[in-house]
Amino acid sequence: MTLIEIIGFFSAAIIGISLGLIGGGGSILTVPVLVYLLGINPVTATAYSLFIVGFSSLVGGLSYAKKGLVNYKTGIVFTIPAFISVYLTRLLLVPALPDTWFTIGGLEITKSIGIMVIFALLMISASYSMIKKKKALDKELKDVKAPKKFNYPLIIIEGIVVGALTGLVGAGGGFLIIPALVILAKLPMKEAVGTSLLIIAAKSLIGFVGDIQSGGDIDWTFLVIFTLIAGAGIFIGTYLSNMIDGQKLKKGFGWFVLIMGSAMIYKELFM
């Protein structure tokens, strides 16, 4: 095993620790680790990411469920359109994407480059949600007495959009789901996080099934080892969260994700 591969597997633990420590965000590092450190093809990496993110979110979501912090009604309304969208994206859309998308000047945008650039843009969007001050949203999150009013059409549309993004780039999309649950379903913070984790788990694992059915080549030994390391990291992060305020780390982590996403765009388009 090379030094880069060792760093790649160590990064799996870091991903899990960040998930356990700050409650999200770490999964967005999965695809870059798989592609740039472990040399996996971007399309395959997004498939692996679905499994890793799905398993990790399931572990976290079950922990919230045991505490009664999951709103199953909202989860079902959001999850059904989301997992249909992600399943069809992995089964039909991703395999149908052409190897070359378009050419600008002398720059050829291939399928692999296009997916990584879209993923990098998603990383930058996620970093903004971590860095910015969310006073209005935080107030909404703390308002546990707010009546639950479901905006079903918008919840369904959000589920379809998030499902398609998850299917295309392999990211969980928690930074999109949690605000939607708060604004559209009026869920308090911890309930929104717990519900979001189970939504991510369901749609990610269903999306991975779409990959299997489309004939994707899966290295199960590698995938299980990487996932178990990330899962162990979640427990470490959860333990550390009792001693460290994860919210104080979230802004710094957001800046790290922003820099990494920007570097990915530069590498894919200009190197």
With residues binned 3-state (H G I as helix, E B as strand, rest as coil), the percentages for the chain, rounded to 5, are: 80, 5, 20
CA dihedral 138, 144, 147, 152 (to 10 degrees): 60
More confident residue, 80 or 24: 80
Select from 239, 154, 141 the least CA-distant residue to 191.
Answer: 141
Any idea which residue has 């779409």 for tokens? 210
CA dihedral (76, 78, 84, 89) positive or negative: negative
**Degrees to nearest 5, angle at CA 167 with 178 and 157:** 50
Tokens of 201: 């788990």
pLDDT digits (tens, 9 = 90+) for 242-271: 777 666 677 777 888 889 889 989 988 887
Q: How many Cα atoms sit within 13 Å of 148 on the Cβ side? A: 12
pLDDT digits (tens, 9 = 90+) for 18-72: 777 766 666 678 888 898 889 898 888 888 988 988 888 888 788 888 888 888 9
pTM, rounded to two decimals: 0.79
CA dihedral (129, 133, 136, 142) positive or negative: positive
Tokens of 50: 């679905």
